[in-house]
Amino acid sequence: MWVRSTMVYRTSFLLTALGNFATTALDFVAILLMFSHVEALGGFGFAEVALLYGTSATAFGLAHLLLGGMDGLGARVRRGSLDGMLVRPVPLLAQVAADGFKLRRIGRLAQGLLVLGWSLAVLEAEWTPLTVLMVPVAVVSGAAIFGALLVAGGSFQFWAQDAAEVQNSFTYGGTTLLQYPPTVFARELVAGTVFVVPLAFVNWLPVLFVLGRDDPLGLPGWVDFLSPLVAVVCWVPAGLVWRAGLGSYRSAGS
């Protein structure tokens, strides 16, 4: 329904999608400006950083396209308009995810895919069947990890009601963090993205394997292949938090 209503106004859709594309592209422009002054960032060349950027932006763009409706859960709780969803014979999580579906978010996804495609075309890496397979696996697993964070962050709104910025710090902030090489950050921060909030499995560890580089923490090589498993594990606490948050919800009586 949301897609059909969006396509009624095709010009508006194209303009908003282009605006979304241009807005998110500014992050890559910042990287371009950095490389106009330096030849490497944390030991990584421009094409290598573009690969990090492309995988992170594509994974988040895919998750945000499918689950971006979680951003508005807090507003629905405050307005009491969530009650109407609870009486419909459709799982609430699916309704919230599709609520106000914004097809223009495809602009962020397209921009990430464009950079990812360019980086893969120019990158001088030793391509093997395993490294080639690692790229799409990392993107899909990364989208699932970001999706779990969106659900967990949205669930937090059942209690906080107006703390979307906390959720954004892990999702929008996370994708920005992952656009840069892990070698430019403190070792403690990198460890936090592996053992606390496993953002490193979105692209840092898989891309380091593709590039044939060691990770800053000296982890065993098999850890680079854990992204799909980590993505599945991330959905367990996300589902539990969602159920706990929904159980604590008190109807507004509307």
User: What is the average pLDDT across 41-47?
Assistant: 93
- How far from the centroid of its chain's Cα atoms is residue 49's Cα? 17
The reported pLDDT for the residue numbered 1 is: 61
Q: Spell out the residues 6+ positions from residue 75 whose beta carbon is closer than 8 angstroms to its own.
A: none
Say yes or no to pLDDT of 254 above 60. Answer: no
| pLDDT tens profile 52-91 | 999 999 999 999 988 888 888 888 888 878 888 888 888 8
| pLDDT tens profile 94-114 | 888 877 677 778 888 889 999
Give the whole-angstrom CA distance, residue 225 versus residue 167. Answer: 27
Say yes or no to pLDDT of 23 above 90. Answer: no
Q: Spell out the residues 6+ positions from residue 20 whose beta carbon is closer than 8 angstroms to its own.
A: 104, 105, 106, 107, 108
| pLDDT tens profile 185-232 | 999 999 999 999 999 999 999 999 999 998 889 899 999 999 999 999
Give the whole-angstrom CA distance, residue 61 versus residue 175. Answer: 9
